[in-house]
Amino acid sequence: MRVIAIDGPAASGKSSTAAAVARRLGWAHLDSGALYRALTLAALDHLEPPAGGADAPWSAAQVLGLAEDLPVRLVLAADVFRPEVAGVGVEDAIRSERVTRRVSALAAIPALRHWVNVQQREAALGHPQGVVVDGRDIGTVVFPDAPVKVFLTASPEERARRRLAQRGGAAGTEAREVAIDPAELRRETTALAARDHADATRPVAPLRAAADAVLLDTTRLSLDEQVARVVALARERFPG
């Protein structure tokens, strides 16, 4: 199985690392969070607010019906699996605050996780050169036999700083070079902590490191250093 699984909490650098590792190896990149976000976006835009108030969970059957009808899917282009809703790329729309606020509740619904997992496994089968997949449960549930598993962490404040720098800084700027308002940093740290708590305490496929994952604390690493570590692991496990 040519899969590299990269898991970790929100804004730990999983997707940037996974994308760069995939480019270096000539493999494809699949961001599983993008699929949960695309489902959330589709539900927000196409379903009535759930019975019980705007913050109540949607019914799994309704969201699944929508996912099949619209459809919500991943499309492979230039070795990157990108989310589409009704034939339209939603790469930017899925990063909006309204999606981020609702995605963890949707991702806690077992039938929706099953649907997302099927999409991921089909995508990987369709790309035999290899796929770098990032998320929360890739090494524990989706690809438990992945030969390389990495669990990325970083301090909550560093993750919040990176997230804000990503929004406010020029592309390619290291997070620590961007000036950040302390009040905004506190707000973002709290929001990330709430999402991590929801992801780590749900009964189904909670966020946690697989027993055989390599733990990589990236608080003091640059993106290049993180990428180099994962590529080195990959070259050990997939020589040639």
Binding site for ligand C5P (CB under 6 A): 10, 32-33, 36-37, 103-104, 107, 135-138, 195, 199
CA 82-130-228 angle, to 5 degrees, is 90
Question: Nearer Cβ to ligand C5P, position 202 or 229?
Answer: 202
Question: Nearer Cβ to ligand C5P, position 37 or 235?
Answer: 37
CB of 110 to ligand C5P, least distance (A): 11
CB of 15 to ligand C5P, least distance (A): 6
Residues in contact with 7: Cβ distance below 8 Å, sequence separation at least 6, in sequence order: 14, 134, 135, 136, 137, 138, 139, 140, 149, 150, 151, 152, 207, 209, 210, 213
Question: Nearer Cβ to ligand C5P, position 137 or 158?
Answer: 137
CA distance 169 to 240: 38
CA 69-73-76 angle, to 5 degrees, is 145
CA distance 195 to 159: 13
Question: Nearer Cβ to ligand C5P, position 70 or 138?
Answer: 138
Contact 42, 72 (CB under 8 A): yes
CB of 100 to ligand C5P, least distance (A): 7
CB of 30 to ligand C5P, least distance (A): 10
